[in-house]
Structure 1
């Protein structure tokens, strides 16, 4: 896809990967950007940067967990600013905790934003794309949508779900000339993850590299865009020797060393750790 002269909508555009994608699309001469996030002030700051690159910007301060609000806003935006050619579902949250210490409100937020928010936006935009018989949808999953890891159970579950959703839509929407793509970044140094305990030996990438990988993948019409050599290595290892990757992830996870040793000892003995 050549984004030049197109209109794109980016959710989660106020920071991190979403912000980087918006700026990279502006550098690629997209015609118009619709920026979606909950924080209007941060959106305005990103809009100023985008406008400096000569691109028209529309700010939509929305909570994706509120479908009626989102429905009204998208209908108005489509009417006032014309068709959307590229949708990038980037909004997401992450909470980290061992499963037995996880909190239900955090789990509900991850499902509401990462999964249901993506569904709501995609449903509204895809129906209109089908009418115009043109469009591209990018759903931002994660390496944890391919390789789940301790302390990130619910986050991984939402990212796995995004991949399944994307794969199903790719087949369904192809007849309407709509491409559906998955973007899978590895650990990315953004505001969202700085409060998390990082996994050992993982080298974080930057949001700018993720955005550049997306643009390259769009040009190549890749169905899945895996970012970074570590991601390719992890996916390859998971296919060839999943038992080995599981052990590596356990050693790398931010769990206590005593618990890691107990887990490995009990797992080797075929006993469930409680």
Structure 2
């Protein structure tokens, strides 16, 4: 029983080792194909860094649990694991806090919602309103072909009005409904004769140029934040599960560390 926690810690870290190799392999795969879009280049480094971190932690945990004389290494492992738990906890709380405000508004007679930038947290607004950040996001949206796929549907106005558009499709691929533009296709809209500026600057920003559309509209930035909010909620939920797992591993690691200290302090017991 004295070594039970050590064996369990080794088993848990073996699982983390396999996970780290999968994550690291995914990051390396991204790096080899990330030659066209900023989105792939953006994802590549964090994934590789996470894989390396998990790999180092799992190896340290395995060494500490299997080698009775590696108490110092096991102590460093527990310290690193504690810091990781603290960081994940802070990030999870932060993710829920900044993504709590903001929601799409229903449009009468439409199957989709529309989004306002001002409805989201100030911190998120500043991130997308930064010109450098938005240039990268805009490139991702264009390279992803989201609006091109929407335009390929070739729907009638009635079909389009009832479509369940994603936040990005609603905000970036069409003008706001309040602009009252005439529908030609999903991504082509005609301004009415004598059209002047309105209270909504997105009506002026809209362009039928398929490389422009509403990519620079406030509604597009709001759609990105709506999509980001959904993703962060999912990530935060997964983080909670991962946190519980890490806390279990940490608790088992503390027992293993205590066992190692007892083994080293009382050699006559071996």
Pairwise TM-score range, normalised by the shorter structure: under 0.3
Structure 1 length normalisation: TM-score?
Answer: 0.22
- Higher strand proportion, which one? 1
- The TM-score with structure 2 as length reference comes to 0.23
Structure of greater Rg: 2
Pick 1 or 2: higher relative contact order, CA cutoff 8 A, min separation 6. Answer: 2
